């Protein structure tokens, strides 16, 4: 239907100029924004990095004890969130073994001092060793306890643990002293702990 003109000539004569004019119209419409971006964005980058170097992402040190990728654990260890009561399997853990900080692996409690407090959280009446746990009084008066090695939040300590018995093994001096005849009660988030069964018990 195009006769002697042919499709290729038609393209050159009509369609290509038309396309170019449309492109020119878009270019003219966009040019102020393009120029504005083109001038400001590189200037900001140049100001932020040393001359001639490629842009680098900010280098932030990992938080101490960030060995876990479990977001729930991180919420407990790093933000001080309290897990819901009765949710940790460690609350029912009755085997002999040691409980380590889930953030750094430092042993913080032993099954020897675990007892059923009825609170819904793993509970201990003494720490594993001298200086393994550090304390901080919170705004509401409660005493927060955390791993002395990495700072990971463990839980809280209350003065209503089991009654002192004459044959109690000595507790670390860094533990809270008994009060009114009761040992301290470490009320600990199970998410802040990992449990390792003692080898002789596991066989």
Active site residues: 187
Strands, E assignment, 10-103: 97-101
Q: Which of 125, 122, 116, 124 is nearest to 165 (CA)?
A: 125
Nearer to Zn ion among residue 97 and residue 152 (C-beta): 152
**Closer by beta carbon to Zn ion, 147 or else 183:** 147
Contact, 124 vs 113, CB < 8 A? Answer: yes
Check: CB of residue 187 under 8 Å from CB of residue 170. no
What the block records as the tokens of 87 is: 């949710």
189: nearest Cα among 77, 70, 98, 63:
77
| Site string (105-124) toward Zn ion, x via CB under 5 A | -x------------------
155 lines the binding site for Zn ion (CB under 5 A): no
Q: Which of 145, 149, 157, 171 binds Zn ion (CB under 5 A)?
A: 149
Q: Of the ranges 2-10, 136-144, 150-158, 159-167, which one interacts with Zn ion (CB under 5 A)? A: 150-158
The binder of Zn ion chosen from 150, 176, 191, 192 (CB under 5 A): 150
Site for Zn ion in 85-104 (CB under 5 A): 101, 103-104
Q: Which two tokens stand for residue 142?
A: 């409660």
Residues 64-83 that bind Zn ion (CB under 5 A): 65
CA distances to 15, 16, 18 from 21, rounded to whole Å, are 10, 9, 5
Q: Which of these ranges, 19-27, 63-71, 168-176, 188-196, lies near Zn ion under the rule CB under 5 A?
A: 63-71
CB of 141 to Zn ion, least distance (A): 25
Closest CA to 123 of 174, 158, 148, 153: 158
* Residue (119 or 194) nearer to Zn ion, CB: 194
- How far is the CA of 115 from the CAs of 100, 105, 123, 178, 183, in angstroms? 17, 22, 6, 16, 12
Give the separation between CA 193 and CA 12, rounded to whole angstroms: 75
CB of 186 to Zn ion, least distance (A): 14
CB of 157 to Zn ion, least distance (A): 16
Q: Rule CB under 5 A: which residues touch Zn ion?
A: 65, 101, 103-104, 106, 147, 149-150, 152
């Amino acid at each position: 239907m195009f006769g002697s003109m042919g499709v290729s000539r038609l393209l050159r004569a009509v369609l290509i100029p038309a396309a170019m004019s449309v492109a020119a119209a878009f270019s003219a419409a966009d040019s102020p924004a393009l120029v504005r971006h083109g001038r400001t964005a590189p200037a900001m980058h140049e100001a932020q990095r040393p001359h001639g170097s490629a842009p680098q992402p900010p280098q932030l040190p990992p938080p101490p004890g960030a060995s876990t990728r479990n977001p729930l654990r991180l919420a407990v260890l790093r933000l001080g969130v309290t897990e819901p009561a009765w949710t940790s399997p460690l609350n029912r853990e009755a085997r002999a073994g040691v409980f380590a900080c889930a953030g750094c692996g430092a042993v913080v409690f032993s099954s020897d001092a675990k007892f059923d407090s009825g609170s819904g959280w793993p509970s201990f009446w003494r720490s594993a060793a001298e200086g393994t746990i550090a304390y901080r009084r919170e705004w509401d008066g409660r005493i927060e306890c955390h791993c002395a090695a990495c700072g990971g939040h463990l839980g809280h300590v209350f003065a209503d643990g089991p009654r002192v018995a004459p044959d109690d093994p000595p507790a670390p001096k860094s533990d809270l002293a008994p009060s009114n005849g009761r040992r301290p009660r470490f009320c600990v988030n199970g998410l802040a702990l990992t449990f390792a069964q003692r080898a002789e018990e596991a066989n």
